Amino acid sequence: MKIACYCQHVLGIGHFHRSLSICEELSRRHETVMILGGPDVPLPKTDVRFFSLPGLRMDETFSNLLPCRKGADVQQIKEQRQQELFTFLQEFQPDVFLVELYPFGRKAFRFELDPVLQAMKSGALPPCLRLCSLRDILVEKKKKETYEKRVLTTLNTLFDGLLIHSDPHFIPLEQTYSRLHEIDIPLHYTGFISRPTREGSTDTIRRQLQLRAADKLIVGSIGGGSVGAELLHAVVDTSCVLNDQRLHFHLFCGPYSDPGLKGALQQRGGINVTVHPFSRDFPEWLQAANLSISMAGYNTCMNILAAAIPALLYPFARNREQKMRIDALGRSAPLIALSQTDLNPDNLARQIQKMLQLTRQSSSINLDGARETAVLLESLQKQQEKRP
């Protein structure tokens, strides 16, 4: 089976890494290509092949497309992307076209997605199974009725199925999409996507850090790093308030963090604070940790749940997504939301001391979404082949 996965990230790297986890699972048995087109992101060594379109991103207000290459013309980039995407799909001839988020998001990229989806439906491109790959929570929209109607029309017209990467016992899609009952195409919950970690990583990292049994490893992070620097600054200031040599703070900047953030944190931090650049091994660090302090993006939360460690989570305030995720998952795991007031060093110190009293706690949340997605795609493709 040949699979093409379209993933357009515009702010952070969560969408990219969730799709990558799915693609890596698929690549174990199938030829898999990820189609990218956002800001540069570190690409790992993997069996997944990457096909990159000329880069586009959103402006700070999420209102307009901007070229990733300074000085480039947006309209020319759009025309180039349209042609390159169509040509790639024409030559690759995938059996499955997996589209991340659209039409629930990425409306700005319908200029290139609608034409190829229509062409697959009409036969202008080789026909294939067209599936939407969707995360757990949708961001709220100002014109909800218009938005939901547009999504419904596109989904029912241009797609063959909807994959929801969530556990419906905790976060069903109808919580953030009211017209779920009007979706005519099949929809499937896969469970959450969580990248597996290497065996023995806990002992390896703690041994490398020369940590004793009584020492506590606290990992701080801000995902892609486009937002959240204030959280890492608060953790550094709090480490000075705690002044406990048994506490070891390891902070991770994101690939899109301000270039000066790492140095600023190191300058303010004490001897028990270490600052790292973004790391593909971050899930392994969580496995070794006693506590996580982070934003509440999809991937970070799934990594925390997989590690089964307590977490203090600082939700992105511009929309409802991250706070909703904390509230839902916190019913089954030791996850606590931090407010702006909690970033005060004295307040954060009390929260950290309280959470360090807790032990690892596994939850009943389904984190096997990548494997279940791969199994589901194989089943759907076989069904497709049997149709006249």
Instruction: Answer yes or no: do 124 and 262 share one domain.
Output: no
Burial of residue 91 (number of CB atoms within 10 Å: 0-12, 13-18, 19+)? exposed
| Closest of 378, 312, 7, 22 to residue 196, by C-alpha | 22
pLDDT of 311 reads 97
What share of the chain in percent tops pLDDT 90?
A: 76
Higher pLDDT, 362 or 7: 7
The stretch 10-26 carries a mean pLDDT of 90
Averaged pLDDT, 205-224:
93
**CA separation for the pair 299, 308 (Å, rounded):** 14
pLDDT of 225 reads: 81
Nearest to 228 by CA among 165, 278, 280, 291: 278
| CATH at residue 130 | 3.40.50.2000
Q: Are residues 158 and 212 in the same domain?
A: no
Are 250 and 333 found together in one domain?
A: yes
Tokens of 264: 């600023």
Residue 49 is predicted with a pLDDT of 97
- 19 and 151 fall within a common domain: yes
* Predicted local confidence at residue 10, as pLDDT: 79
Domain containing 286 equals: 201-355
What is d(CA 15, CA 13) in angstroms, rounded to the nearest whole number? Answer: 6
Q: Are residues 60 and 187 in the same domain?
A: yes
**65-67 vs 56-58, strand pairing mode:** antiparallel
Top pLDDT among 278 and 2 is at 2
Domain-embedded: residue 335: yes
pLDDT for 281 equals 86
| Local confidence band at 208 (pLDDT 50, 70, 90 cut-offs) | very high
Q: Is residue 73 part of a domain?
A: yes
In angstroms, what CA-CA distances link 102 with 226, 299, 346? 22, 19, 43
Residue 358: its pLDDT value, please? 93
Q: Per residue in 247-283, pLDDT tens?
A: 999 999 988 888 899 888 988 877 799 999 888 889 9
Whether 132 maps to a domain, the answer reads yes
How does pLDDT run across 127-177, given as a tens digit for each residue? 999 999 999 999 999 899 999 999 999 999 999 999 999 999 999 999 999
CA distances from 51 to 75, 88, 98, 101, 103 (A): 21, 9, 14, 18, 21
Element (H, E) at 380: helix 369-386
Q: How confident is the model at residue 200 (pLDDT cuts 50, 70, 90)?
A: low
Token pair of 25 as six digits = 């699972």
Amino acid at 341: T
Report how far residue 222's alpha carbon sits from residue 273's, in angstroms, rounded to the nearest whole number. 16
**Is the CB of residue 126 less than 8 Å from the CB of residue 159?**
no
Q: Which of 134, 136, 247, 194 is nearest to 362 (CA)?
A: 194
On the question of pLDDT at 387 being above 80, the answer is no
CB 77 within 8 A of CB 107: no
Q: Please write the tens of the pLDDT for every residue from 90-119.
A: 999 999 999 999 999 999 999 999 999 999
228 within domain boundaries: yes
- Give me the pLDDT at residue 370, please: 96
Please tell me whether residues 68 and 208 are part of one structural domain: no
Residue 363 in domain: no
Say if 76 falls within a structural domain.
yes
Look at residue 362 and tell me if it is in a domain: no
Stretch 23-42: mean pLDDT, rounded?
94
- Rounded to whole angstroms, the Cα distance separating 39 from 224 reads 11
Q: How many domains does the chain have?
A: 2
Given a cut of 70, whether residue 388 has pLDDT beyond it is no
Region 351-355: mean pLDDT is 97
- Mean pLDDT, all residues of the chain: 92
* Nearest-angstrom CA–CA distance, 133 and 137: 12
CB contact at 8 A, 1 and 31: yes
- Looking at residue 292, its pLDDT comes to 97
pLDDT at 62 over 90: no
Place of tokens 């938005």: 147
- Is residue 360 a part of any domain in this protein? no
Query: 166 and 275: one domain?
Result: no
Looking at the predicted structure, is the pLDDT value of residue 316 above 70?
Answer: yes
Decide if pLDDT at 384 tops 90.
no
**Do 149 and 51 share a structural domain?**
yes
Please give the span between the terminal C-alpha atoms of the chain, in angstroms, as a whole number: 19
- Same domain assignment for residues 220 and 333: yes
Cβ neighbours for 90, distance < 8 A, ≥ 6 positions apart = 125, 126
- Are residues 340 and 232 located together in one domain of the fold? yes
Provide the pLDDT for residue 216.
96
CA distance 376 to 22: 12
Same-domain status, 164 and 240: no
Q: Based on the domain organization, do 205 and 187 belong to the same domain?
A: no
Please compute, for residue 371, the number of CA atoms within 13 A of its CA located in the half-sphere on the CB side.
Answer: 6
